[in-house]
Amino acid sequence: MSISAYDPNNIFAKILKGDIPSVKLYEDADTLAFMDVMPQAPGHLLVIPKQGSRNLLDADPAVLVKLMPVVQKLARAAKEAFDADGVFVAQFNEPAAGQTVFHLHFHVIPRHDGLPLKPHSGGMEDIEVLKANAEKIKAVL
Ligand code: 5GP
Domain range enclosing 23: 11-140
**Phi, psi angle pair for 129, to nearest 5°:** -65, -45
> Which atom of ligand 1 has the smallest separation from the CA of 102?
3
34 assigned to some structural domain: yes
Ligand 1 mutation pick, 37, 45, 99, 118, max ligand atoms within 8 A of CB: 37
| Residue 58, amino acid | D
CATH of the domain at 105: 3.30.428.10
Q: What is the tens place of the pLDDT at every residue in 79-136?
A: 999 999 999 999 999 999 999 999 999 999 999 999 999 998 889 999 999 999 999 9
pLDDT at 126: 97
2 assigned to some structural domain: no
6 assigned to some structural domain: no
Domain count across the chain = 1
Beta strand 31-35 with 106-111 is: unpaired
CB-based burial label for 28 (10 Å; 0-12, 13-18, 19+): exposed
Q: What is the tens place of the pLDDT at every residue in 51-66?
A: 999 999 999 999 999 9
119 assigned to some structural domain: yes
- Taking CA atoms, 14 is separated from 21, 112, 126, 138, in Å, by 9, 32, 21, 23
**Residue 103: alpha-carbon gap to chain centroid:** 11
The pTM assigned to this predicted structure is 0.97
Q: How far apart are CA 141 and CA 28, in angstroms?
A: 13
How many whole angstroms from 99 Cα to the centroid of ligand 1? 9
Question: Which residue lies with its CA nearest to atom 19 of ligand 1?
Answer: 11
132 assigned to some structural domain: yes
Q: How far apart are CA 137 and CA 131, in angstroms?
A: 10
Q: How far apart are CA 40 and CA 119, in angstroms?
A: 6
Pocket around ligand 1 at a 6 A CB cut-off: 11, 20, 22, 34-38, 92, 98-101, 121
Q: How far apart are CA 37 and CA 51, in angstroms?
A: 22
1 assigned to some structural domain: no
| Residue 66, amino acid | K
